A = this chain, B = another copy of it.
Amino acid sequence: MAPPTTEPLTAERILVATEEVLRRHGPAKATVVDVARALGVSHGSVYRHFRTKAALREAVTKRWLDRTTATLTAVATAEDRDPEARLRDWLTTLFEAKRRKAGDDPELFATYQVLAEENGEAVAAHIADLTAQLTGIIRSGTATGTFASTDPTTTARAVFHATSRFHKPSFAPAWQEPDIEKQFTAVLDLVLRGLRA
């Protein structure tokens, strides 16, 4: 548990170790002392890089949320593709990513759900990022005449809200239902019909 290293103790190394500790012990039992032990340092050293335990957990939360955003950016910014297909892809990618994470490792998913709940601000920023991507897709759709929207920002948020069931973590149990894909398709079709010019 205490592999002695010559490497300098960086914020990055602490974050990686914290993720590992959270994975192992869960959000309730993961302590700063555990993180320090995993790194082979005293817990005082961890506080040199993060003012509080809450700040450390917030940093872990942000990293995790940013990884999700990165995956979607590629889909959102494929400016050459048909906006309708891009929107369909974007929402499907988001849903599939969430569903896979929740299904593959439910405990880890629950852990990050707890972190998300205690860092509402980071989550709000993440959601702002996502709706900004959606706004971009919708705006280019109105430009090409595919979509009808007088206010792409409002429309983007409406699309995001209408598809909550397929990305909000609190719906994760529903993602196990056998007809969940049918449910998703039905909502997606309804929303896309509503968007079309």
Contacts and interface: CB of A to CB of B under 8 A. Distances in A.
Contacts of A194: 189-195
Interface in A181-197: 182-183, 186-187, 189-195
A71 interface: no
Interface residues on A, range: 20 to 34
A170 B169 CA distance: 11
A42 interface: no
A94 to B, nearest CB: 15
20 contacts: A154-B182, A155-B190, A157-B186, A158-B183, A158-B186, A158-B187, A158-B189, A159-B190, A161-B165, A161-B187, A162-B163, A162-B165, A162-B191, A164-B164, A164-B165, A164-B171, A170-B170, A190-B194, A192-B194, A194-B194
Contacts of A191: 162, 190-191, 194
* Top 10 A-B pairs, shortest CB-CB distance: A194-B194, A158-B186, A193-B194, A162-B162, A190-B194, A158-B190, A161-B165, A158-B187, A170-B170, A164-B165
A182 B189 CA distance: 23
Contacts of A157: 183, 186
Identical copies of this chain, number: 2
A159 B189 CA distance: 11
Interface of A: 154-155, 157-159, 161-165, 170-171, 182-183, 186-187, 189-195
A57 B78 CA distance: 53
A181 to B, nearest CB: 13
Given A157-B183, A162-B165, A191-B191, 19 more contacts: A154-B186, A155-B190, A157-B186, A158-B186, A158-B187, A158-B190, A161-B165, A162-B187, A162-B190, A162-B191, A164-B165, A164-B171, A170-B170, A190-B194, A190-B195, A191-B194, A192-B194, A193-B193, A194-B194
